[in-house]
């Protein structure tokens, strides 16, 4: 019986020793990384740091930029980025006002994305305030004989509030997909993107970066920026 008590007492003392060891180590970690010994304060500081730190982008822009320039010599990358960013702002505006008409010039996938957001908070007001875009970069570029696809990733922050709940700052990362349609008959009619035709003779243009119409020789470079359309939006 005495031996059993000694064993139990030893186990209790060991557990207490381990507890205090962990507590001391935890305080050291909290002090080193959060400059506090309070677990609650550490969580608060971690949340604050999350709110203030922009999300990262794994950018392949230097590589894809060269491919894009080769296929579309006259494309203005900054304008395309602005097109993607404006789509995000229009979606936020549509969700805030619950007005999908704002997105009438976009593909149906954009409206569906916004509609889902509206339905999530059908009876509550949603606020996107103090929107700040940190960076927009190419994250994907590919093409085939029918179309070319350009995907941008945008990091941004904003103050987000739903109904009467306390609002908070959000660090977000959103992808927008732009499509350039070469052959609208092959691509289909499920997008607002349109094919390219020569402004002089009406012949279809079926080669990426084509500068002149193969039928009549009319210059086509000016058409490039008019056929990229935002086709989809994805929130990470």
Model confidence pLDDT, tens digit, residues 196-222: 566 666 666 655 556 677 777 777 654
The total domain count for the chain is 2
Low-confidence ranges of the chain (pLDDT < 50): 45-46, 189-190, 193-195, 222-225
- Tell me: do 47 and 125 sit in the same domain: no
Sheet of 147-162, strands arranged across: 126-143, 147-162, 168-181, 228-235
**What's the domain range around 19?**
2-51
The reply to whether 130 and 166 lie within a common domain is yes
Other CB atoms within a 10 A radius of the CB of residue 107 amount to: 21
Is 43 found in the same domain as 73? no
pLDDT at position 128 is: 95
Q: Which residue, 16, 35, 51, sits at the end of a domain?
A: 51
- Which residue(s) pair with 161 in the sheet? 127
Q: What pLDDT shows up at residue 181?
A: 80
Q: Would you state the structure tokens that stand for residue 6, as one six-digit string?
A: 């000694």
Domain identity same for 190 and 104: yes
The answer, as to whether pTM is greater than 0.85, is no
Phi-psi region of 98 (alpha: psi -120 to 50; beta: other; left: phi over 0): left
Residue 17: CA count within 13 A, CB half-sphere: 6
Write down the pLDDT at residue 233: 95
């Amino acid at each position: 019986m005495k031996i059993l008590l000694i064993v139990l007492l030893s186990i209790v003392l060991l557990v207490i020793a381990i507890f205090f060891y962990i507590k001391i180590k935890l305080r050291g970690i909290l002090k080193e990384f959060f400059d506090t010994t309070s677990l609650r304060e550490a969580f608060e500081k971690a949340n604050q740091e999350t709110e203030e730190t922009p999300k990262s982008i794994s950018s392949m822009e230097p590589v894809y930029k060269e491919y894009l320039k080769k296929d579309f010599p006259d494309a203005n990358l900054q304008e395309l980025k602005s097109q993607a960013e404006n789509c995000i702002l229009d979606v936020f505006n549509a969700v805030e006002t619950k007005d999908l008409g704002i997105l009438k010039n976009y593909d149906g996938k954009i409206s569906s994305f916004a509609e889902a957001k509206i339905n999530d908070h059908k009876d509550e007001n949603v606020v996107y305030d103090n929107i700040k875009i940190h960076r927009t970069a190419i994250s994907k570029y590919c093409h085939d004989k029918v179309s070319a696809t350009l995907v941008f990733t945008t990091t941004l922050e904003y103050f987000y509030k739903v109904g009467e709940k306390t609002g908070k700052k959000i660090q977000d990362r959103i992808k927008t997909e732009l499509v350039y349609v070469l052959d609208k008959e092959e691509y289909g009619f499920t997008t607002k993107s349109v094919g390219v035709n020569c402004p002089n003779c009406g012949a279809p243009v079926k080669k990426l970066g084509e500068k002149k119409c193969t039928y009549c020789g009319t210059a086509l470079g000016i058409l490039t920026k008019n056929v990229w359309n935002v086709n989809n939006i994805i929130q990470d």
